[in-house]
Structure 1
Amino acid sequence: MTEKTKTIKAVEAKNSIPEEEKTPLKKFGKQETVTVEDVEYKFQFPGIRKAQQILDASKMLNGVISDEAYNHQLMETVIVEPKTNWDYWDENAGYREVMALADNFLGRLLN
């Protein structure tokens, strides 16, 4: 290896920035785990566009968010483990708390 090549490698190593530092606001796919009623729920951010689509699809004609439609979207898109649906909540406690936490998670990353 020539002296010039060694110098270039040294400079590249010195200037190397870890991927996390290059994209500190990288949100897509970010995950968070919460525990409610002894069950761990994993939330995953679907990306800015999908998050906005969730909000838009949940609005009624008068512009008010439909909780049923919004929570359905959270179950389909944001809550990735365990997979939840309306039948799941008929058998498990913690529905309102998990939905509130998923809403908070989505809102924090949408900001």
Structure 2
Amino acid sequence: MANTNFKQKEITTKSGGKYTLQHPGVRNVTRINDRIKNKHGVNSEERICEEMFKHVVVMPKMGIDDFEEYKEMVEVANKAYFFITGTPDPGDVEQEDEVDDK
């Protein structure tokens, strides 16, 4: 049975961009972690970004080519990855609020 109660998190980038992240569920996180690795088992930056924008960043819905700034794209993708893996974001000075989407 699918869990439809996924946590969301609002983030703001250093440049002021606002994004909504939604956790895709534990099974999907494991699948994402498998897909982002290259043939040597090393994380691929492009694959991480693609997976985060496809499965985690829900508002605004964007892809790599929609960003004007590389720095902004990487910051959003990193924050999304830290969120789904439960890793503290070293760039966070303040904690964003998580909301339950019911």
TM-score by length of 2: 0.72
Q: Which has the higher helix share?
A: 1
Pick from 58, 61, 66 the counterpart of residue 39 of structure 2: 61
Q: Residue 12 of structure 2 aligns to a residue in which SS?
A: strand
Corresponding position: 1:89 with 2:67: yes
**How many angstroms does 1:50 deviate by?**
0.5
Q: Whole-Å Cα distance in 1 between the matches of residues 71 and 59 of structure 2?
A: 15
Pick from 35, 39, 49 the counterpart of residue 12 of structure 2: 35
Distance 1:61 1:92, change over 3 A: closer
The root-mean-square deviation of aligned C-alpha atoms, in Å, is 2.3
Count of paired positions: 84
**How many angstroms does 1:80 deviate by?**
0.4
Higher relative contact order (CA 8 A, sep 6+): 2
Gaps of 5+ in 1: 1-25
Runs of 4+ in 1 over 4 A off after TM superposition: none
TM-score by length of 1: 0.67
